[in-house]
Amino acid sequence: MSAACILSLLFVGSTLATVDQPDADDLLEYAQDMQGHGFDSAAFQTLSREIAALPFAEQQQRVFDWVDTQQNYEVTVRKGPYGVPHILAAEYGALGYGEAYAAAEDHICNMALSLVRARGESSRYLGAGAKQSNIALDAVVRGLDIRGQARTALAAQDDEVRAWLTGYTAGFNRYLREHPGSRNNSWCSGADWLRETTPLDLMSRMVIAAQTLPRMSAAIASVQAPSNEKIEVSSLDNETLQLAALDAAALEGMGSNGWALGSEYTENGRGMLLANPHYPWYGESRFWEKHLTIPGKLDIYGAQLLGSPGVAIGFNSALGWTHTVSASQRIVFYRLQLDPENPLRYRYGNEWLDIEVRTLEIPVSGKDGRISLQPHTIYTSIHGPILTMPGMAWDKKYAYAAKDANVGNHSLLAQWKAMGEASSLDEFIGAHRQYNAMPWVNTIATSEDGRALYLDNSTVGNLSASAETQWQESLKDDPLAAQLYAGRRMILLDGSDPQNTWINDPSVPIAGTAPFQNRPKIERKDYVFNSNDSYWLSSPREPLTGYSVLYGPTQSARSPRTRMNVRMLENQYGDAGDDGLFNIHEIQRALFTNRGLSAELLLPELVDVCRTGGEDLTEACDVLQAYDGSLNLDSPGAPLFREWLTRYDRLDTVNAGKLFGESFEVDRPILTPAGLGESDLALQSLRDAIAVLRAAELPLDTTLQDTQFAWRSGKAIPVHGGNGYEGVANLQMSGNPSASPIAGVRATKVADSRYLTDNGYAVVHGSSFIYTLGFDDNGPVAEALLTYSQSGNPNSRHFRDQTPLYADKEWREVAFHESDVAQNVLSIRILRSSDNR
C-alpha cells in the first residue's frame, strides 16, 4: 500500500468531529509521535514549505517518506517450531519493530481490525453491524473521547515505552507496505481498512482494552432522554444488546485458572506455576506467543493479546506469572435523582448539575458502499456516561450512570514492562506498587526461590467506609440494588450523595482508585491460586477478608470450577503422588484429567432419581450410571449429562434449591452446596436433555469426540474440556463461531439447547495459552500449548498445528535458554528499517 493512500482516513483530529478530515496538524502530530525527542522541528518546517503547494495526498506521502528515513531499527527474528518467534534487539524501539512485523505475518487482519475499532471507524468500514452494534461502539469511542484519553496516555509514557510503541508502529506499517492489497494472503486480503497506523492508534487500542465502558457500548449508546424533543438521537434500544453489555461488564467469555506453588509444595523446593487463561479462540482478543530479548535488560517468554507489545503472561529467568480475570467490580453504577422540571439535571448534594450532551455524527457505510453521517448523542455526568439496561431506564425520576475505575489508567504497558524486567519477586511486587495499573485481573506468580504470590491488583474505586455501609443497608430495601448484586455482584450507589464519590489518595497514579496497600495480597510457601472467584479462598489455608466490597464477596459459595481446583491442589485425587509434592508433569496431568465436580456431586443421586422415572428413561439411566464424570473425548454420556445440567440457571450451581439440595456452609466451602435438589425438576430436565440429543440425531451415549469441536477453516478437530456448569478446570465454552471468517462453519442451535448446534459444541473460548513452569539448576523449565495455534491466517502452516497437540494432551517444550533456541531455529531474518530505502 502506498503512503499516498494510507492517510485519507487515518488521522482523526478529534473523536467528536463530525467529519474525519486529516490536515497538516495531523501530519505534524504523526511526525512528532514517531520521532519523540529526536524530532527535528526545523527540518519538518523546511519539508512543510517544500510540499505546501502539493495536493494533500502527496504531502502525506512525503511526510511518511521523511519519517521513514529518520528511523534506524535492526532486529533479529528467529522462528522455531510452531512459528514462535525469538526476537532479539538492542533496545525497545527495535524490539517493537520486530514484534509487530512478526505478529502481522500471523495476524495482520485482526490487528488492523482492532485499530479500526480503536479509531471509532467500525461503521465506516464494516457498516452498521448486527443490531447497529458497530454504530454503538463508534458512538462510545467517539463520545467518551477515547482518542483524547489516548493522547494524554501517550504523553505520560517514559522514553523507553514511547520508543517501544513507535517501533511497533513502524514494524506494523512496514509489513503493510510490503504486503499491499491481496498480497497479505489472509482472510482480509484487499480490505479497505488495512491501513497504516500511528502510536496514537496503538495507545487508543490499549485504552479500550483496559476499560470496561467501551465493552458496554450498547447500554450507553441506546440511551434516550425522556420528553426531550429538542435533542435528536439515533436510538439503538435493544434489550438483547443491553443484556450483552452487562455480560461484557463482567468480562463474560474471559476467565482463567492460575496456580503458584511454593517451596513447600514442589518436589525440588523451587517455585512452579500453572498458567491457564480462558480467552476467546476467535477475534482480536487472542494470544500470540513470543520470546523477547534485549541483552542485559530483558529476557522474557510468554504471550500477549494481539496488537500490543510485550508479554502479559509469561516468565523470565527469576520468576513467572499469570493472570486471571478478577471478581472485582471495576464499574460502579449510580442512580441519579433528576430535577422534576428538567430531566437533563440531577441532584448532587445541595446542587443541581447539568447532564452533558455530546452530539456526534457517525460515518456509516451503506449496502451501496456510500458513506452517510448518522447523528447520535451520548450523555455524561460526573459519575460517568448515562446508560440504560432492563430495569435501569432513564425516566423523569431517575437516570443511571456508570463510573469506570480504569479511565485514566495510562500505565498498563509500563507495568508489564517492569514486571518482565524484574529480577526478584520483591521487584515484581514493586512494579505493582509503583504503577497500580492492572485493569481487571488478578496476578498469580512464583519465583525460583520458591515463593508463591497472589495479588488482586485490579483497579477499583476507592469507596469510603460510610459509602460501603450505606450500600449494605440499601440491599435490604432497594430491590434493584439487591438484584444487581445477587445476580451480577454489581454495585449500585446513590449518585446524589457526595459521600459515594470515590476518595482521592495521593499515593495512587489513577485518581479515585484503591491504593496498593488496600488491595488483596497473599504470599505463601505452599500454594495460592485463583479461578475467577474473589480473593477469599485464593489460599484456602489462609482465608482472606476485610477488603472493599468492590473486590468481591467473601464467605460465600464458590463456583464448581474453583472448588475443583482446590480439590486438585489439595491432592484429593492423588495428582501429586504419594509425596503430595508436585512436578510440572503432574500439574499438567491434573489439569487434563478433565474431572467434572458437578458430576461428582450430583451424578449418583441423579441416577437414583432417574431409576424412579419410568421405563422411558431406562436407557438414559444406564448411560448416566456408566458415565465416568469426566469431560474427556472418550467418555460416553458426557453430552447427555451436559444437556441435563445446562437446563439449570448458572446461579443454581452456587445456590441450594433447584439443582443442589444441601446449602452452602461457610466452614465447608469446598464441600457445599451439594446433593441433588428438586427430584421432579431433575427428571423433567433429563427428559428435555434426551429430546435435545434425539433432535440432533445423536445416541444418548455419544461422546465429546463426536460432538465438541474446534473449527479451523471448516475443519472440525475434536477437543476435550468442559463448560462453567460442569466444574472442570480445563474450560472450553461453546458458542456460535459463525461470525469469524476463520472458523469456516455456520452453527444453528439444536432445539432449545443452551450450547449444542447442528455442528456440535463449537468451542469459541476457553483454555488458550497454557504453560507450566518450574526451575532447575540452570533456570526456568517450561512446557506450553497455544490451543488454537499461533497464526490466524488460514493459509499458514501454523494455523492449526498446535490444536491437535492440545486434543491429544501433548505438551511441547519451550525453548528459552539460548542453547535451546539455537538448536530449534528453523528460520532467521534480520529486519532493518533501512532495508527498503
Question: pLDDT tens digits, residue range 427-450?
Answer: 999 999 999 999 999 999 999 999
- pLDDT tier at 323, thresholds 50, 70, 90: very high
* Residue where the block lists cell 525497545: 92
Q: What angle do CA 383, 385, 391 make, to 5 degrees?
A: 95
Judged against a pLDDT cut of 90, whether residue 29 lies above it is answered with no
Which residues lie closer than 8 Å to 683 by C-beta, 6 or more apart? 609, 610, 612, 613, 617
Q: Residues near 314 by Cβ (< 8 Å), separated by ≥ 6?
A: 300, 301, 302, 303, 320, 321, 420, 771
For the chain, helix (H) and strand (E) counts, in that order, are: 24, 30
CA dihedral sign, ordered 574, 580, 582, 583? negative
Higher per-residue confidence, 16 vs 671: 671
Bridge partners of 403, per DSSP, are 332
3-state SS assignment for residue 444? strand
- Residue type (1 letter), 830: I
* CA pair distance 60, 726, nearest whole angstrom: 56
Q: Which grid cell is 568?
A: 486438585
480 Cβ neighbours under 8 A, 6+ residues apart: 335, 391, 392, 492
pLDDT of 242 strictly over 80: no
Those residues whose C-beta lies under 8 Å from the C-beta of residue 812, and which sit 6 or more positions away, are: 81, 82, 783, 784, 785, 802, 805
**Number of residues that this document lists for the chain:** 837
On whether the CB atoms of residues 565 and 470 are closer than 8 A, the answer is: no
Coil, helix or strand for 461?
A: strand
Grid coordinates belonging to 111: 490487528
- Give the pLDDT mean for 304-329: 97
- Taking the C-alpha atoms of residue 307 and residue 528, their distance in angstroms, rounded to an integer, is 31
pLDDT digits (tens, 9 = 90+) for 279-289: 999 999 999 99
Residue with cell 451480577: 488
Q: How confident is the model at residue 2 (pLDDT cuts 50, 70, 90)?
A: very low
Helix or strand (DSSP H, E) at 16: none
Provide the residue type at 400 as one letter.
Answer: Y
What lies within 8 Å, CB to CB, of 26 at 6+ separation is 7, 10, 11, 12, 13
Cβ distance 302 to 786 under 8 Å? no
| 366 residue type, one letter | G
- Per residue in 778-834, pLDDT (tens digit) is 999 999 999 999 999 999 999 999 999 999 999 999 999 999 999 999 999 999 998
Query: Does the model's pTM come out above 0.75?
Result: yes
Q: Is 774 helix (H, G, I), strand (E, B) or coil?
A: strand
Q: What is the DSSP letter of 794?
A: T
The per-residue pLDDT for range 75-88, each reduced to its tens digit, is 999 999 999 999 99
- What's the pLDDT at 483? 94
| Banded model confidence at residue 238, pLDDT cuts 50, 70, 90 | low
Q: Express each pLDDT in 689-725 by its tens digit.
A: 999 999 999 999 999 999 999 999 999 999 999 999 9
Task: Give the pLDDT score at 747.
Answer: 93
Backbone φ and ψ of 623, nearest 5°: -65, -45
Instruction: For 113-172, write each residue's pLDDT tens digit.
Output: 999 999 999 999 999 998 899 999 999 999 999 999 999 999 999 999 999 999 999 999
**CB atoms near residue 543 (< 10 Å):** 15
Handedness of CA 429, 435, 436, 441 (dihedral sign): negative
**Residue 387: which of 219, 217, 135 has the closest Cα?**
219
Distance from C-alpha of 254 to C-alpha of 263, rounded to nearest angstrom: 30
C-beta atoms surrounding 746 within 10 Å? 13
Query: What's the rounded Cα separation, in Å, for the pair 187 and 184?
Result: 9
247 has pLDDT over 80: no
Mean pLDDT (whole number) for 210-223: 94
Q: What is the pLDDT of residue 22?
A: 62
Q: Work out the pLDDT band at 237, boundaries 50, 70, 90.
A: low
Report the amino acid identity of residue 481: A
Mean pLDDT value across the chain: 93
Please report, rounded to a whole number, the percentage of residues in the chain having pLDDT higher than 70.
95
Nearest to 432 by CA among 541, 330, 323: 323
Kindly list the distances between the CA atom of residue 540 and the CA atoms of 582, 657, 836, in Å, as whole numbers in the listed order.
18, 26, 58
pLDDT number for residue 420: 98
Instruction: Give the span between the Cα atoms of 601 and 727, in whole angstroms.
Output: 10
At residue 20, the pLDDT reads 57
Q: Of all helices (H) and strands (E), which one includes residue 565? A: helix 560-569
At 1, is the pLDDT very low, low, confident or very high (cuts 50, 70, 90)?
very low
User: What confidence score (pLDDT) does residue 24 get?
Assistant: 76
pLDDT above 90 as % of the chain: 85
Classify residue 541 by burial, with Cβ atoms within 10 Å: 0-12, 13-18, 19+: exposed
Between residues 407 and 255, the one the model is more confident about: 407
Residue 506: all three cell numbers together = 495521593
Mean pLDDT of 385-409: 95
d(CA 87, CA 306): 16
Amino acid at 260: A
Which of helix, strand or coil describes residue 475? helix
Nearest to 650 by CA among 750, 561, 537, 780: 561
Alpha helices, DSSP H, located in 627-722:
638-645, 679-695
Residue 753 clears pLDDT 70, i.e. is over it = yes
* pLDDT-based confidence at residue 235 (cuts at 50, 70, 90): very low
**Residue 103 DSSP SS3:** helix
